Amino acid sequence: MLGLNKKDFSLLLIVALLTMLAPFILNPFPEGSELAQFNAGYPDLMQRFVIFGIFAIGFNILFGLTGYLSFGHAAFLGVGSYAGVWMMKLLTMNVIPAILVSVIVAGLFSILIGYISLRRSGIYFSILTLAFAQMSFALAYSVLTPLTGGETGLQLSLNDPRIIGTSVTESGSIPVTHLFGLEMRDSFELEMGAWLFTFNAGYYVCAVVLLVAFYIAIRIFRSPFGMMLRAVKSNQQRMKYTGLNPKPYTLAAFVISGMYAGLAGGLMVSMDPLAGAERMFWTASGEVVLMTILGGAGTLIGPILGAGMIKYMENILSKINSTILHEWFAFMPDGIEDLLVTLVYPFIGKGWHLTLGIIFMLVVIFLPGGLVEGGQRIARLFRRKKEEPKGPDPEHHPKPAPHVAE
């Protein structure tokens, strides 16, 4: 179905169910309970899960298939964000033109960066992409201030010469982003007993884009083009000996990956029309590398899982402070309570990066295939237990008749 085999279609269906039912899945605890702080079903965070999942899917097409590790992919995210905001300032607040222009501009920029960087491979390629990203950050932060807003970032204003639509609403404020009249900030709340679920229009727009992006990634992985990219990763020198030139394939993968990053940038400004130079900083590029490796480089669903895990830790684990810890351990004697808070606190709150680092280290050492490999190992373990043969039953396997001499 949809040109996919049974396994890939099932995977697409799983991703669709996870995204569509995210408001329920991410709010497992009742409102007002002590565990409600672990709920992640609010619109802003759900949008981040999906947008950075798209970013990681695109990066995985380059890194997971070709083995080329880019440390500058955040440059395309930033360029796409700036292009999207400018489209909203000049044309319309409808998110469709902003998203399309973000993808196109990021694709053109990635052609330039990729053509130069792909002249080298290995660590030299990685350093080149990092250098280009840092140069882009420096330009956006200072030199190109009229275009990027510099330190304060590029944002909408009441003086924008918007061609389609109005620059100022009747109430005197800036118009909000929308999709043919459906505002991205519109939400519907469903109360079921002690649970409260929020369904946000912007999130579901991002979720539909994620499903399309994931479907395209599946087709790329299963196509002859994807097979050529795997050949590049496997043995590029042997590929050259057969008379095949790997450069067009690697450049195409680089551009596609850059367009995915631009798509993520366009979606970010569609939800919140503000673009800043910090999105192009090297730490943003390192974050998508962590997402891909943590989830499982070269797998289809791995980057989405990695993006969700990191964004969850960044937004939920980082909010836990010493006061909350004292509430958790309040049932213990004062001395033990203080000791436990002292031991745990460095790994949460502002120290959540330490926990992420430990998890990443353990995954690299024990699960080189990321979270996907961990899931596969658990599935094989349960499958092996089910398929274990039982001992022979004497009632159903009678002994052979004794041999009679002729």
pLDDT in tens, 100-135: 999 999 999 999 999 999 999 889 999 999 999 999
What's the rounded mean pLDDT across residues 325-331?
84
pTM, to two decimals: 0.91
What's the rounded mean pLDDT across residues 302-322?
90
Instruction: Answer whether residue 191 shows pLDDT above 80.
Output: yes
Q: Report residue 285's pLDDT band, with 50, 70 and 90 as the boundaries.
A: very high
Identify the CA nearest to 22 among candidates 276, 219, 211, 293: 211
Q: Report residue 405's pLDDT band, with 50, 70 and 90 as the boundaries.
A: very low
Contacts 24+ apart (CB under 8 A), 133-138: 133/71, 133/72, 133/73, 133/74, 133/75, 133/280, 133/281, 133/282, 133/285, 134/72, 134/282, 136/72, 136/75, 136/78, 136/79, 136/280, 137/75, 137/78, 137/277, 137/280, 137/281, 137/282
Q: Report residue 406's pLDDT band, with 50, 70 and 90 as the boundaries.
A: very low
What's the rounded mean pLDDT across residues 248-257?
96
**Three-class SS of residue 381?**
helix
What's the rounded mean pLDDT across residues 335-356?
87
Instruction: Answer whether residue 404 shows pLDDT above 80.
Output: no
Residues 6+ apart with CB under 8 A from 3: 219
Identify the CA nearest to 269 among candidates 111, 388, 105, 93: 93
Residues 6+ apart with CB under 8 A from 91: 97, 162, 163, 164
pLDDT in tens, 123-181: 999 999 999 999 999 999 988 998 998 888 999 988 888 898 888 888 888 899 999 88
Tokens of 39: 């709920």
Residue 274's φ and ψ, nearest 5 degrees, are -150, 130
What's the rounded mean pLDDT across residues 284-310?
93
Break the chain into its structural domains and give their ranges.
6-281
Tokens of 184: 């991205």
In terms of average pLDDT, the best of 22-36, 251-265, 273-287 is: 251-265
Please tell me which residue, 206 or 38, carries the higher pLDDT value.
Answer: 206
Please tell me which residue, 192 or 110, carries the higher pLDDT value.
Answer: 110
Identify the CA nearest to 270 among candidates 145, 88, 105: 88
Measured between alpha carbons, how far is residue 36 from residues 7, 29, 31, 335 in Å? 36, 5, 6, 27
Residue range 6-281, CATH number: 1.10.3470
Instruction: Answer whether residue 317 shows pLDDT above 90.
Output: no
Identify the CA nearest to 341 among candidates 323, 353, 362: 323
Instruction: Answer whether residue 288 shows pLDDT above 80.
Output: yes
